[in-house]
């Protein structure tokens, strides 16, 4: 706890990065590594969440980087179901009594963030389930699997049909909130490097559908999921 307290006090988000998986027992079987690498990068996240670290240190932020974002949707669904709803699973909530005060998904965007290098189109399609206030798009420069030197083309391809407000959050605003960036100080840089909605071929009249956002985490209504008590 002294370490988490220091990170919170200093405003330092804690990060994990893909590549954490131990390799000694895997030998040359790269498929095993690829199957487990995201699990190892995300594992500290649920240790912090379910141990109540975010309750004791509400300003603490944890960021999973370069481990994609696809995994978050099913984790949020099942975690919420375990703790807040469902005849066969709500019994788990009793074991967590006093540890956390909210549904696990409610910590995403407040304490938990995802630095998603080169997001897939499917992840962008599921952006409201993951949370535009959770995910932060990255180029993964200079790795060969990243977008450079075709970053603009990738953005144009993936975000042309995405509302401007969602795009702004995924490409910059969420990161600014997570890391406490000074947006006024960064405005000249943003003006210089963009990208602008016009450059991405976006229709400025396209707006985020509030109903799509409200219904994205469908399990909360389907399972009548409520915070643990």
User: CATH 3.40.50.720: does it fit domain 2-222?
Assistant: no
More confident of the two residues 70 and 222: 70
Of 109, 111, 126, the closest CA to residue 7 belongs to 111
pLDDT band at 27 (very low <50, low <70, confident <90, very high): confident
Position 88 pLDDT exceeds 80: no
What whole-number percentage of the chain has pLDDT above 90? 71
Residue 58: CA atoms inside 13 Å, Cβ hemisphere, count?
A: 5
Give the 3-state secondary structure of residue 203: coil
pLDDT at 21: 62
Q: Which range among 40-54, 92-106, 139-153 shows the weakest confidence by mean pLDDT? A: 92-106
Residue range 70-84: average pLDDT?
91
Residue 39 to residue 90: CA distance in whole angstroms: 24
Sign of CA dihedral 53, 47, 111, 220: negative
pLDDT tens digits for range 139-179? 998 888 899 999 999 999 999 999 999 999 999 999 999 99
Contact 191, 59 (CB under 8 A): no
Torsion, Cα 11 14 17 23, to 10 degrees, reads 150
pLDDT at 13: 98
Residue 221 to residue 216: CA distance in whole angstroms: 10
Contact 152, 195 (CB under 8 A): yes
Position 26 pLDDT exceeds 80: no
Residue 103 to residue 107: CA distance in whole angstroms: 7
More confident of the two residues 202 and 98: 202
pLDDT at 225: 83
- Residue 91 CB neighbours (<10 A): 10
Residue 139 to residue 92: CA distance in whole angstroms: 39
Residue 79 to residue 140: CA distance in whole angstroms: 29
Residue range 15-29: average pLDDT?
77
Of 201, 208, 207, 206, the closest CA to residue 154 belongs to 201
DSSP at 213 = H
Query: What is the token pair recorded at 53?
Result: 């670290």
Placement of tokens 């206030």 in the chain? 133
Query: What is the token pair recorded at 66?
Result: 């370069």
What residue ranges do the domains of the chain occupy? 2-222
Residue range 184-205: average pLDDT?
93
Query: What is the token pair recorded at 109?
Result: 């965007």
pLDDT tens digits for range 106-119? 999 999 999 998 89
pLDDT at 224: 81
Q: What's the predicted TM-score (pTM) here?
A: 0.93
Of 159, 76, 163, 156, the closest CA to residue 123 belongs to 159
pLDDT at 119: 92
pLDDT band at 217 (very low <50, low <70, confident <90, very high): very high
More confident of the two residues 32 and 90: 32
Torsion, Cα 24 30 32 33, to 10 degrees, reads 70
């Amino acid at each position: 706890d002294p370490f988490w307290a220091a990170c919170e006090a200093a405003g330092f988000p804690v990060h994990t990065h893909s590549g954490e998986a131990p390799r000694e027992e895997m030998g040359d079987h790269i498929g095993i590594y690829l199957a487990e690498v995201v699990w190892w990068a995300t594992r500290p996240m649920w240790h912090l969440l379910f141990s109540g670290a975010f309750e004791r240190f509400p300003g603490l932020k944890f960021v999973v980087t370069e481990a994609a974002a696809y995994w978050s949707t099913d984790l949020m669904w099942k975690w919420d179901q375990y703790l807040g709803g469902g005849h066969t699973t709500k019994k788990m909530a009793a074991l967590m009594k006093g540890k956390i005060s909210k549904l696990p998904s409610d910590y995403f965007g407040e304490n938990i963030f995802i630095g998603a290098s080169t997001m897939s189109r499917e992840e962008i399609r599921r952006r409201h389930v993951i949370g535009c206030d959770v995910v932060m798009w990255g180029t993964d420069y200079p790795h060969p699997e990243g977008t450079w030197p075709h970053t603009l083309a990738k953005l144009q391809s993936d975000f042309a049909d995405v509302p401007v407000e969602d795009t702004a959050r995924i490409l910059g605003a969420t990161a600014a909130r997570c890391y406490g960036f000074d947006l006024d100080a960064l405005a000249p840089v943003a003006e210089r490097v963009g990208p602008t909605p016009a450059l991405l071929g976006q229709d400025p009249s396209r707006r985020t559908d509030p109903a799509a956002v409200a219904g994205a985490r469908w399990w909360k209504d389907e399972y009548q999921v409520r915070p643990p008590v």
